[in-house]
Chains A and B, each alone.
Chain A
Amino acid sequence: MSIACVVGTDLGSTTTKSVILDESGEVLGRGITNSRSDYDRAAKVARSEAFITARFNLLKREVEQAAGPEVLQHLLDAFRLEQTLAQLDRLHQLVSGTLAFGVPGELAGPAAEAVDTIIARIRQEELDRFKETNPSKRSDFFRDTVGSAWSTISEEIGDPKGVSFDMLLGLYDKCIIQVENEPLALGFGDHIESALVRIGGSTEVKTGVHHAVEAEFDVREEVGTGYGRQRLPFPKEMIRSEILCHGLGASVMFGGTRTVLDIGGQDTKAIQVDENGIVTSFQMNDRCAAGCGRYLGYIADEMNLGLHELGPLAQKSTRTVKINSTCTVFAGAELRERLSLGEKREDILAGLHRAIMLRAMSLLARSGGVDNEFTFTGGVANNPAAVSALRELVTENYGDKVLNISPDSIYTGALGGAIFAHRSAN
């Protein structure tokens, strides 16, 4: 079976996303990875991840009715577990190989033991998580999940006089980049069989999996967009500005869209579109990435929190602290100053979220204001505190507007790219 499709890839500064559309223009697959300062690799991984979800979608179309959605979700979880374990094995290998020259000779033995302990514990945590019915939300990226566990366990078992926390963390830092950048076999065909064995799927599911593995994709057209788009091996006419892609993507997600705000890793864009999704005006931040996604990442690091924890904590605020700077560097200083003055973390965070949105409001005003309907896209749209600060400011300045946010908003640029590809192919 050969399936005609098109691909849009959005190489962002922080994450890289791919979206696959089938012949009818329906979304067949989505893939995301961290951009890891290697755009070529990131584009390959995001694309390959999108094809994994595309194959899962084919499987879903074929067997969901017979097998039930829970079984397919379970299979997907098992597949993700297999991917994680494969990467964990590779990380183990690399760290063990580094020990010879990465730590003083007398500590090589104890360090190897500590590493084995860490890996074994992470492996067990992953297996336990797989058994949980409703595991807590966490990052999609191996670097983040394993990195966080590695750090916690190292802190616990690290010995300041022997194999220290810093030493263990250093080993991880040295090797994780290689794990991310190697072409590891993490595709659908590589792990679906073992995932199937793990859940013990029915005959229908097995047949469906077989079909999904065998499916061939005929990619008719590809469009690249995003900050690193020049790195994509496409002809010039197949490379589109992310501003056009975000405008079009948002307008396809929500047909009534006239104004789009996209806050990504290091860009904030305010875009006005017409009824066909064609951009009529836009403004974006200058070279300084103040108030963008990175700012939140930095604040999360400063507060020793996960990025996804910031919004919910800020929402607990009862009194928003006024924050002056959206400069990533100054914000750290201002944050510490506020903490030293005894302000509550949640109140400071609420202030930080408002500061980001004030900056976005200025770009929106420059681009021509906020028109109905207003669609908010990019990674920051997943942050509930950012959304409520935005909603408040839009109402204050422009009155009641419909505010659209899709759970898949991070894929907006890639979707726009895929639609351009689809139009070009047809």
Chain B
Amino acid sequence: MSDQKTKIQEAHKDESMVIQKEMIAEHYKRLERAPETKEPVVYTFVPGNLTELIRSFGCLPVLPEINALQSGMRGKSRGYIAEAEKRGHSEDVCTYVKCDIGMAMAGNIGPTGTKIPKPDLLLLSYTGCYTFMKWFELLREEYDCPCVFLHVPYQGDGEIEPEHREYMIKQIKDEVIPALEKISGRKYDEDALKERLRLSVKAEDDLVWVLQSAMNKPSPIDAYFGAVYYVGPIFSAFRGTEEGVNYYKALRREVQGRLDAGLGPVAPKGPMAEEKYRLVVEGPPNWTHFREFWQMFADENAVVVASTYSKVGGTYDFGFRHNPDDPLGTMGDYCAGCYTNHNLPGRIDMLCQYLQDYEADGFLINSVKSCNSFSAGQLMILREVEKRTGLPGGFIESDLVDPRYFSAANIKNRLESYLQMVEARRVGASQKGMSA
């Protein structure tokens, strides 16, 4: 076990990963300096984030759930969660929330070791997660700062209706923009916003190209474990920035190189030599044992070719791009299109589509204890997708950032059983084909 751990720690890093690490570190440093540079700080969440707008006011975004997942990956979440539980947050509360609250209690030192400044504004874009609302209530109490609420209508009927759009534009105009004007002391500059949205589109095009490269055989990327790195910049502080555009250019180049060379993804212990299973995954990953979890797939030569989690901050692969010519409307469309804002039939359609387009062998659900927005209905999704596609589904349970809910032996057992089942069915089908 310790051997495995050491090997995983001596992990291979792609060039794009190095660039991203530097971008993140630089952003945290800039945040630390914000009280001196007077750059206003806006806390907001990944799904439905209005980064271009925030940035157009010269403000810096902080994404609490990114802090939580980064803390999870860096082994800090256990202590933060304990801190929050000590202060009365129950074991059943979302562990992202507890990790973030615990971090704030412990001095608000971010995952890279720099101080995270207090928010000047809490910008809550509500895209299907009720807990986000409660989370910001707690932060509002803690920091005594203004909080603005953008209510994004749920896609209950699977459509964004024109009146939904109007409703969101009105809120952005009447609530969000004035709040940003107030904390930044700047007037709303639509040209600056349009320019940022143009940069967004460039990054979005490259990201979609990268994600869809998984349609190749072998896939040059892992579209779950690898993709959570790939979506990092665009889902957080870097959409609508030059750094973001450059990152995606570099990433695309890198993936193109692997594609040209016929290479598979690079897993924690190194490049994958074989692609035995092509899988679609639903649900967020576990962060506390992220590399160990990924390596379990890699050890079985299982590659994830599409995932829904990599769409929580936008479902670009179904055609959406920010439209610089309609800046407020496009932001509304973006918010409403986030994966968490989709209804269950929409999520089922998406999984079925992925299974078909990416020629996958089956799909796996990682059901996390913390997140009811994701987990509720997943068993129904499992059965329905199996029924429609005839492909086998598997079910794994873990958590986002609470290491107590990760049982390596249990997960490995389920994953191996699932893959052996896929293999046995494949052999069974080919024997049937031969005898027919």
Contacts and interface: CB of A to CB of B under 8 A. Distances in A.
Interface of A: 227, 240-244, 267, 274, 276, 278-284, 286-287, 366, 368
Contact of B421 (A282, A284, A366): A282
Contacts of B428: 274, 276, 278
A237 B425 CA distance: 16
A280 B410 contact: no
Contacts of B425: 278-280
B91 to A, nearest CB: 13
A283 to B, nearest CB: 6
Interface stretch (B255-263, B328-336, B392-400): B392-400
Nearest to B422: A279
Given A286-B407, A287-B405, A287-B410, A278 B395 contact: no
Contacts of B170: none
Contacts of A368: 383
Nearest to B397: A286
Interface residues on B, range: 20 to 34
Contacts of A281: 386, 392-393
A244 B425 CA distance: 11
Contacts of B410: 284, 286-287
B392 to A, nearest CB: 7
B417 interface: yes
Contact of B417 (A241, A278, A286): A241
B397 A242 contact: no
Interface of B: 379, 383, 386, 392-393, 395, 397, 405-407, 409-410, 413-414, 416-418, 420-421, 424-425, 428
Contacts of A241: 413, 416-417, 420-421
Contacts of B413: 227, 241-243, 267, 284
Of the listed residues B405, B409, B420, B421, the one surrounded by the most CB atoms of chain A closer than 10 A to its CB is B421
A279 B420 CA distance: 9
Contacts of B392: 280-281
A68 B424 CA distance: 44
A190 B98 CA distance: 61
A40 to B, nearest CB: 15
A274 B390 CA distance: 14
A227 B425 CA distance: 23
Contacts of A284: 410, 413-414
A276 B407 CA distance: 32
A270 to B, nearest CB: 11
A287 B407 contact: yes
B186 to A, nearest CB: 50
Nearest 5 Cβ contacts at the A-B interface: A287-B407, A241-B417, A243-B417, A286-B397, A279-B421
B273 to A, nearest CB: 14
Contacts of B383: 368
A279 B416 CA distance: 13
Contacts of A244: 417, 420-421, 424
A235 to B, nearest CB: 14
A373 B12 CA distance: 50
